[in-house]
């Protein structure tokens, strides 16, 4: 009986049930589309009219042009399927509801993040480039610029993991973790052991994880397991087997804050492939930064804003979480640091525009690492214009993909970029997951923001912008070293692609905004 029970649990686990539920809905909708299209001529005509009206609305909307084209083709080519799909995935009602609820918590937190006007004036005197970025990120991202912050760069998950364990052991007041993926294994189990012990000592330990990100990596209702260990836990946007636009909005951020004075940010999730404890897609190359000092306050507030939203409550006071003077004192100076977040609910692509500011202001070089290169016209124009203007623009992408169809779209962008002077390299040992920009030896970004539509428009993201911090030289050195393990993509490589592969890539690229 035990064996049968275990077998049934394995077969009918949460993932299986969700997949079956969605397949049933898809089957029903497909049969509905088919019957309407073949049996009811008038219904089909009605959907054609609705599709035409929707197309007009899309054309006149503020939607990204790439989104517009993709939706218009689907709606006009397949009126019934296109209209119904747009109603499920293309409308913004779900976003409006989320926005109204989250705005309840954003206004008060914004008051606790004032801009240091003296610092910005100093940037104006020293660098219009940094001043412009600081003003943009504060006005539209809500997060200010700081000095008095030391930043350490980690060129691998293994480096971050080792330091992270040391820092966690020092925690005395609180530990906040917010991650897209958490998976049981060497990395998480080691961290969990420390978190459980710290919680028993009276440290306020809180965890937020994304439900879709952890759908295949954590048991169902894993938050209950953590709560039993004394660890407070909330799940972002719990996944249900229902077609809904709400499921498009994921919490892709990676934040860890300790006692308000130390924070970690970057591309590294809490799973074993990120520290190469096992090989998933060849060697996993990633990156992260550790902040100590004033700028940690922004990451503390990012976490608390999300926690308050999920918990539907606010603390009576934020004083307990603020950085203490003794924790800031050792880190005077240190360049300009701006942690920032991007939300799909504010109709402002902060993550993309922060990248565009770097590309447009670069004078000598821009070096980029990204796992996905699925870019819109604005990003493509900025990259190629910089290259045509004499800036050394280089992009490293993976050689071994984690998703074949996404990698196919990534490669579909190579031809135009390489032809116009952008240098592209693939990381031959495996998969590169780092999301880094570094330019002109003076500015860099390390964070969670991929160069794809989901990251730039649909996910909650975060990153760290740095100007003239000591670690920028480390970001550049890591890039140069990584290039030694890459193969450059030539224009001839782009031309010597099988005809049918080109057709497949073109079709996938057309619908890439909807992936």
Average pLDDT per consecutive 10 residues, the chain (515 residues; last block may be shorter):
52 58 61 59 72 82 74 77 70 63 77 88 79 94 93 97 98 97 97 98 97 91 95 89 66 97 97 95 97 96 94 86 84 88 89 97 97 93 97 98 91 95 98 98 97 90 96 97 97 89 79 64
Encoding tokens for residue 165?
Answer: 């364990």
Q: Is-contact 237 206, C-beta < 8 A?
A: no
Encoding tokens for residue 384?
Answer: 């190629």
Euclidean distance between CA atoms 205 and 228, whole angstroms: 12
Residue 302: name the closest of 170, 105, 444 by CA. 105
- In what order do the strands lie in the sheet containing 288-293? 149-154, 288-293, 262-266, 255-258, 174-179, 204-210, 232-236
Instruction: Name the burial class of residue 120, with classes exposed (0-12), middle (13-18) and buried (19+) by CB atoms within 10 angstroms of its CB.
Output: middle
DSSP 8-state symbol, 462:
E
What is the predicted pLDDT for the residue at 1? 47
Distances (CA, A) of 264 to 208, 255, 261, 318, 440: 15, 6, 11, 21, 24
Helix (H, G, I), strand (E, B) or coil at 60: coil
Q: Which residues contact 17 (CB under 8 A, 6 or more apart)?
A: 241
Q: Which domains does the chain have, with CATH numbers?
A: 2-91 (no CATH), 95-342 (3.30.870.10), 350-514 (3.30.870.10)
Could you give phi then psi for residue 161, rounded to 5 degrees? -60, -45
Euclidean distance between CA atoms 59 and 438, whole angstroms: 36
CA-angle at 37, arms to 35 and 40, nearest 5° = 75
Euclidean distance between CA atoms 358 and 136, whole angstroms: 12
Euclidean distance between CA atoms 480 and 485, whole angstroms: 10
Euclidean distance between CA atoms 369 and 229, whole angstroms: 38
What is the predicted pLDDT for the residue at 446? 98
Euclidean distance between CA atoms 98 and 344, whole angstroms: 10
pTM higher than the cut 0.95: no
Which residue(s) pair with 488 in the sheet? 425
Residue 510: name the closest of 423, 419, 405, 424 by CA. 405
Euclidean distance between CA atoms 70 and 79, whole angstroms: 14
What is the predicted pLDDT for the residue at 399? 97
Q: Is-contact 404 398, C-beta < 8 A?
A: no
């Amino acid at each position: 009986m035990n064996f049968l029970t275990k077998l049934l649990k394995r077969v009918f686990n949460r993932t299986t049930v969700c997949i079956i539920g969605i397949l049933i809905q898809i089957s029903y909708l497909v049969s509905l589309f088919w019957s309407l299209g073949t049996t009811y001529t008038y219904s089909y005509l009605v959907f054609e009219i609705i599709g035409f009206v929707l197309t007009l609305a899309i054309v006149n909307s503020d939607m990204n042009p790439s989104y517009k084209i993709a939706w218009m083709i689907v709606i006009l080519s397949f009126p019934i399927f296109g209209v119904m799909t747009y109603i499920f995935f293309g409308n913004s009602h779900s976003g409006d509801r989320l926005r109204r609820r989250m705005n309840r918590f954003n206004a008060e937190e914004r008051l606790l993040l004032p801009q240091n006007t003296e610092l910005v004036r100093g940037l104006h005197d020293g660098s219009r480039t940094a001043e412009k970025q600081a003003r943009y990120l504060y006005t539209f991202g809500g997060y200010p610029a700081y000095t008095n912050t030391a930043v350490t760069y980690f060129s691998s998950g293994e480096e971050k993991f080792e330091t992270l364990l040391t820092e966690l052991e020092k925690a005395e007041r609180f530990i906040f973790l917010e991650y897209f993926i958490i998976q049981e294994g060497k990395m998480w189990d080691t961290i969990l052991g420390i978190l459980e012990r710290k919680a028993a000592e009276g440290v306020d330990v809180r965890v937020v994880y994304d439900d879709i990100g952890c759908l295949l990596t954590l048991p169902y209702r894993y938050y209950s397991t953590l709560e039993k260990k004394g660890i407070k836990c909330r799940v972002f946007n719990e996944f249900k087997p229902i077609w809904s636009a709400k499921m498009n909005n994921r919490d892709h951020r990676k934040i860890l804050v300790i006692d308000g004075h130390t924070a970690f940010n970057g591309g590294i999730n809490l799973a074993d492939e990120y520290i190469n404890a096992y090989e998933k897609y060849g060697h996993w190359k990633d990156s992260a930064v550790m902040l100590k000092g004033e700028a940690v306050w922004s990451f503390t507030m990012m976490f608390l804003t999300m926690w308050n939203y999920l918990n539907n409550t606010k603390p009576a006071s934020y004083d307990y979480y603020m950085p203490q003077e003794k924790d800031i004192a050792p880190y005077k100076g240190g360049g300009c640091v701006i942690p920032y977040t991007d939300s799909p609910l504010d109709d402002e692509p902060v993550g993309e525009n922060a990248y565009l500011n770097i590309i447009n202001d670069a004078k000598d070089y821009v070096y980029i690492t990204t796992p996905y290169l699925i870019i819109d016209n604005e990003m493509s124009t900025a990259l190629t214009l910089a290259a045509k203007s004499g800036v050394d623009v280089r992009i490293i992408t993976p050689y071994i993909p984690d998703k074949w169809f996404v990698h196919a779209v990534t490669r579909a962008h190579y031809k135009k970029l390489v032809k116009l002077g952008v240098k592209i390299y693939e990381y031959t040992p495996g998969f590169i997951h780092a999301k880094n920009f570094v330019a002109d030896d003076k500015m860099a970004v390390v964070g969670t923001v991929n160069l794809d539509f989901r990251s730039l428009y649909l996910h909650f993201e975060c990153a760290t912008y740095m100007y003239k911090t000591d670690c920028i030289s480390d970001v550049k050195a890591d890039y140069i070293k990584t290039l030694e393990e890459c193969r450059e993509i030539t224009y001839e490589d782009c031309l010597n692609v099988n005809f049918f592969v080109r057709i497949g890539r073109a079709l996938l690229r057309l619908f890439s905004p909807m992936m």
